[in-house]
Amino acid sequence: MELYHGELYWDTTWERQKFDSRERKELYDIAIIGGGMSGALCSYVLSRENYSIVMLEQDRVGGGSTSANTGLLQFSNDIMLHELIEQIGEEQAVEFYHSCKKALEQLQDVAENALIDVNFHTRESLYYASTVEDVERLRKEYEALKKHGFPVEFWDSKQIEAHFPFTQPAAIVTDGDAEVNPLRLCVGAIQYAYEKGMDIFEQTEVLEIKDSSSGAVLRTTHGEFTAKTVVVTTGYAPTPEVSIPQKDLKVTYAIATKPIKDLSFWTNRMMIWETKRPYLYMRLTDDQRIVAGGLDQNIDELPSSEETAKQFDELKKQLKVLFPHTAIEFEYEWTAVFGESTDELPVVGRHPEEPNIYYLIGLGGNGTVYSMLGAHLIRDELLGKSNANETILEIER
Ligand SMILES: Cc1cc2nc3c(=O)[nH]c(=O)nc-3n(C[C@H](O)[C@H](O)[C@H](O)COP(=O)(O)OP(=O)(O)OC[C@H]3O[C@@H](n4cnc5c(N)ncnc54)[C@H](O)[C@@H]3O)c2cc1C
């Protein structure tokens, strides 16, 4: 499955390392299928429990959707808290939002323990109302977040104008979010697990999983592997053994500008997004670029280069409208498949009939936070600990 086209900015920030395959063990505690962000964060969390682990990646680690990711990490989700309360009830919705907030702290821990700099920086987010009609929705969200103890402020249009070169009807500003280089975070987490003894086999596609009461046999392009438990983290690609009914594929667009000397007009280097759907979003990088994305389309295959060019022009136009006094030059642009779920939540949990196979599919714009939260949920299930997100995120919900 082709996941992206174009020139990816993050690829220029890291020289790919090939992981040496070690001699394979006869039986592993855990086999992780896929070496993207979900597999990486699972490997980080599970390697701390001293399981023997093998990671099987059909291509190279960090080469899937993770390298197309724009690296915004937020506790607020595509579905607002007050809307999630209507969807699944207050207790579960608030619990889920708190888990997302906690996942940000856990991601910081990964960043601090990584052997490479992953450019993790805590940031505030500016979430603005795209239209006057959306102000009420945003105020409701502000009240829900405030009531449940999340760090949030409500800004009117004057406050926005005082901090940015554009105006919008209103915004909420959340604290405790972060930006990261997603490719380096993914590799940093994998290196950590590798140092703790995880085996990694790149260029090894899993073709079939045969589950039995004592574990699972994985048939791959490089022979068989046996593990007591399998964790499937294959991203937006088809998952082995079960199809994920919630999965909804789209196409999205992202760009990175050339470095901009003076970014002092960008208050606190905040991450910015909006209430419109699909939303425009943006952030800054360590080397002074703007990375922005959006314009999602309801198609499940990457479009022609003509269509792609039109969308990039539109994205650039929207950015220039927000920052009319800045000379912006563009350097990288890429289009990618993007997976959402029909209820805007990730899918994490056990196969409905095969008790040794788990799935962690981080659908949605907040995929990295979901991968972190999901890695802990799977760890808890393996250790027999209860986890409040278990029923919210299971495949058959
Ligand atoms: C343009 C764009 C912007 C985004 N921005 C953000 C953002 O700002 N913040 C955020 O949190 N999220 C963002 N996301 C979402 C984020 O990228 C995903 O949540 C994340 O990459 C998913 O990671 P993954 O490991 O599940 O999938 P992937 O990174 O795709 O990794 C899956 C891996 O599994 C391997 N694989 C598949 N099948 C097999 C098999 N049978 N055998 C062996 N290996 C297999 C693949 O080769 C791949 O390496 C964005 C996504 C896109 C496309």
Write the pLDDT tens digit of every residue in 267-300. 999 999 999 999 999 999 999 999 999 999 999 7
- For residue 22, pLDDT over 80 is answered with no
361, two tokens:
């599919």
**4-11+20-69+183-246+344-393 architecture in CATH?**
3-Layer(bba) Sandwich (3.50)
242-266 burial, b at 16+ Cβ within 10 Å, e below that, comes to bebebbbebbbbbbbbeebeeeeeb
Domain parsing of the chain, residue ranges: 4-11+20-69+183-246+344-393
pLDDT band at 241 (very low <50, low <70, confident <90, very high): confident
- For residue 346, pLDDT over 90 is answered with yes
CA distances from 72 to 53, 67, 82, 179, 341 (A): 29, 13, 22, 5, 19
Separation of CA 176 and ligand 1 centre (Å): 24
Q: Which atom of ligand 1 is nearest to the CA of 63?
A: 49
DSSP 116-143: S----EEEEEEEE-SSGGGHHHHHHHHH
Least confident of 237-241, 313-317, 330-334: 237-241
Residue nearest to atom 33 of ligand 1 (CA): 34
- For residue 20, pLDDT over 80 is answered with no
Q: What are phi and psi of 127, to 5 degrees?
A: -115, 100
Q: What was the pLDDT predicted at 215?
A: 86
pLDDT tens by residue, 364-387: 999 999 999 999 999 999 999 999
- For residue 16, pLDDT over 90 is answered with no
CB-CB contact of 79 with 91 (8 Å) = no
Q: Which atom of ligand 1 is nearest to the CA of 238?
A: 38
**pTM: predicted TM-score of the whole model, two decimal places:** 0.97
Q: 165 in helix, strand or coil? A: coil
Separation of CA 382 and ligand 1 centre (Å): 23
Separation of CA 237 and ligand 1 centre (Å): 9
Bridge partners of residue 218, in order along the sequence: 209, 225
Tell me the residue length of the chain.
397
Residues with a CB atom less than 6 Å from ligand 1: 33-39, 56-59, 63-66, 68-73, 205-206, 233-235, 237, 252, 254, 293, 336, 338, 362, 365-369, 371
To the nearest whole number, what is the mean pLDDT of the chain?
96
Out of 65, 187, 357, mutate this one to test ligand 1's pocket (max ligand atoms within 8 Å of CB): namely 65
- For residue 108, pLDDT over 80 is answered with yes
CB-CB contact of 18 with 202 (8 Å) = yes
